Amino acid sequence: METMVALVILLGVSAVVMSGMVQMMTTQGTIANRTEMHTSVRAVTELLQQEIGQAGKISLPQPLPGVAWAMTTAVPAGVTPDTPVTINAATFNVADPVTGNPLLFEGEWVTVDTGAPTCVPLQVACQETVQLTCAAGIGNCPAPSFTWRATFNYTHTPIPIAIPGIVTVGVPISLPGSFGTGIIPPAAGVMAAPPAGYAGYPVWPVNAPAKGSSGTVLKLYGDINGDGNMVYIEYTCVPGNPAAPGFLYRNQVPWTAVAMPPLDPSMIVLTNVLANPNAANANAVPCFTY
């Protein structure tokens, strides 16, 4: 009888201990899942923050050996700020080192020359920043090109660029600043309450004509990775429900691409994405607002 009583007590204690261990394991699993979820959300948030901060940055890739980015067109002598000259076919050698495609676009500002060494006369500083425009009219040159119209205030004479190992004959150039629309705004009709006079995203860059961002697709472009390469990125939000959670995708191509590859599992940056709760007025809340 004493043995049986002892066994009953031992079984009771064991049941309490096992119940506590099961509860502890369940709690630990829940904490681990939440920690993993928060880590994933934090990682995606940091990535979005970094890429939105870099959006619109202009960079040129490193040229091939023996090449320097330059303007190869001469600006005639006698040009001054009082007598500027517009050249309809100013030629630049800026090209993708892999494909050879041009990398300058309409509306970009290019800093031409580096100062006195290539100026006429030599003691006059002639560095200036010019905007590339389309000789056929605004918007008629949607594709990148080697030749652009630009207005110059100084004379520029192509010379062998004096950098060891570089033999390009031209006027050295650089690209300052950034684009104003590194985050592509929504197209006309997408936003519920667009700003007054908003006509939608223009036909540029070439891979997103009149197809701006939306409540489920965030579009960015520029030197977003900070490696000298201009890229185009789409974040696509596909929300789900508790029974079938959705995903957040990140899709990247060179910014001169004319098509985006279809979404696939390798592009998922966040899982278990649910639809946002409705707003106070019962309207749906999108993934992205602008």
Q: How confident is the model at residue 207 (pLDDT cuts 50, 70, 90)?
A: very low
pLDDT per residue over 128-137, tens digit each?
Answer: 889 999 888 8
pLDDT per residue over 11-68, tens digit each?
Answer: 888 888 888 888 888 777 777 667 676 777 888 999 999 999 889 888 888 787 778 8
Tokens encoding 32: 């681990």
Mean pLDDT, the chain, whole residue set: 81
Q: Per DSSP, which regions of 67-216 are E strands?
A: 70-71, 85-91, 109-112, 128-131, 147-152, 159-160, 169-174
State the DSSP code for 106.
T
Q: How confident is the model at residue 235 (pLDDT cuts 50, 70, 90)?
A: very high
**DSSP codes of every residue in 32-89:** HHHHHHHHHHHHHHHHHHHHHHHTTB---PPPPTT---EE-SPBPTT-BTTB-EEEEE
For the chain, what percent of residues have pLDDT higher than 90?
22
Q: How confident is the model at residue 123 (pLDDT cuts 50, 70, 90)?
A: very low
Of 251, 267, 146, 253, residue with least CA distance to 206: 253
Q: What residue type is assigned to position 55 of the chain?
A: A
H or E, element range at 226: none
- Cα distances from 196 to residues 16, 191, 214, 215, 281, in angstroms, run 68, 12, 18, 20, 23
* Higher per-residue pLDDT: 207 or 12: 12
What pLDDT is recorded for position 206?
A: 45
pLDDT per residue over 274-284, tens digit each?
Answer: 999 988 888 88
Q: What residue type is assigned to position 274 of the chain?
A: L
**Whole-angstrom Cα distance, residue 131 to residue 170?**
18
Extents of the domains making up the chain: 65-178, 181-273
Tokens encoding 166: 């570089």
pLDDT per residue over 128-177, tens digit each?
Answer: 889 999 888 877 776 788 999 999 998 888 877 755 555 678 888 888 77
H or E, element range at 11: helix 2-54
CA angle, residues 226, 232, 237, in degrees to nearest 5: 110
Q: How confident is the model at residue 201 (pLDDT cuts 50, 70, 90)?
A: very low
